[in-house]
Amino acid sequence: MQLHLSSWPEIEDYLTSSKAILIPIGSTEQHGPNGLLGTDALCPEIIARRAGDESGILVGPTFNVGQAQHHMAFPGTITLRPSTMIAAMLDWAQSLSRHGFERIYWLNGHGGNIATINAAFSEIYHGVTFGPEGSNRPPLRCVLRNWWELAGVTDLCKQLFPVGEGSHATPSEVSVTYFGYPEAIKHVAMAPKIAPTGPIYDAEDYRRRFPDGRIGSDPSQATPEAGEKIVTAAVKGVIAEFRQFAAS
């Protein structure tokens, strides 16, 4: 079930049986020569929507621009400053809370978002603690899960891509988007085959160290078939975890 394809009476009805919602959250940033700019938002969205179709979980709109400052030397990347992202997440959460939602499960697709998402959770909880009815036990609880850490997914990715998984523009994440959008598959030879690794600082330095955008990966291994396996495992993992969280 998807919020943006539902009517308000349907959401009002959903709230009589569940107070939990899943929000995919990601980034719009370069993903190397054959990876889609939307990769980090598309991966959690593809997994979440399928989980929503299979289980009736309510899936909200994708929060699809995040912390991508270090990718800004590559065209197409869009970034939010941390304070903007925290403010926007707070407004999303308070809007949902206003309607009666008490559990928000944020399925994340971008490692660079983690610190800011956790800071946003603190902001959300502070709003309750210091609100007019001040309490240290907010009725609204948030949880963050990175899709690649869902039960069964990490091991499967290692098994599918024992060499060249790397840490940015990975064959696993590119496979998930190729499964979701086969019409967007791009065939590009990688040179070098496996990208360099190293530290991340600012945008210009990033492009000097990682000229085609990849870090440690060989995403030319990506296939829609591998993506389907990863999505199937992730959907199973997220449904089980969401149900537990919704009942907590």
Which residues contribute to the site for Ni ion (CB under 5 A)? 40, 173
| 203 in Cβ contact with 69 (< 8 Å) | yes
Compute how many other C-beta atoms are within 10 angstroms of the C-beta atom of residue 218. Answer: 21
Specify the residue, 33 or 138, whose C-beta has the smaller distance to Ni ion. 33
**In the complex, what is the shortest distance from the CB of residue 239 to Ni ion, in angstroms, rounded to a whole number?**
23
Specify the residue, 14 or 206, whose C-beta has the smaller distance to Ni ion. 206
Specify the residue, 49 or 168, whose C-beta has the smaller distance to Ni ion. 168
**In the complex, what is the shortest distance from the CB of residue 233 to Ni ion, in angstroms, rounded to a whole number?**
18
**In the complex, what is the shortest distance from the CB of residue 204 to Ni ion, in angstroms, rounded to a whole number?**
20
**In the complex, what is the shortest distance from the CB of residue 86 to Ni ion, in angstroms, rounded to a whole number?**
21
Specify the residue, 51 or 169, whose C-beta has the smaller distance to Ni ion. 169
Report the C-alpha gap between 113 and 78 in whole angstroms. 13
**In the complex, what is the shortest distance from the CB of residue 16 to Ni ion, in angstroms, rounded to a whole number?**
37
Burial level of 36, CB count in 10 A (0-12/13-18/19+)?
buried
Specify the residue, 35 or 52, whose C-beta has the smaller distance to Ni ion. 35
Cis peptide leading into 82, omega within 30 of 0? no
| 46 in Cβ contact with 64 (< 8 Å) | no
Structure tokens at 26: 């990601």
Side chain identity at residue 216, one-letter code: G
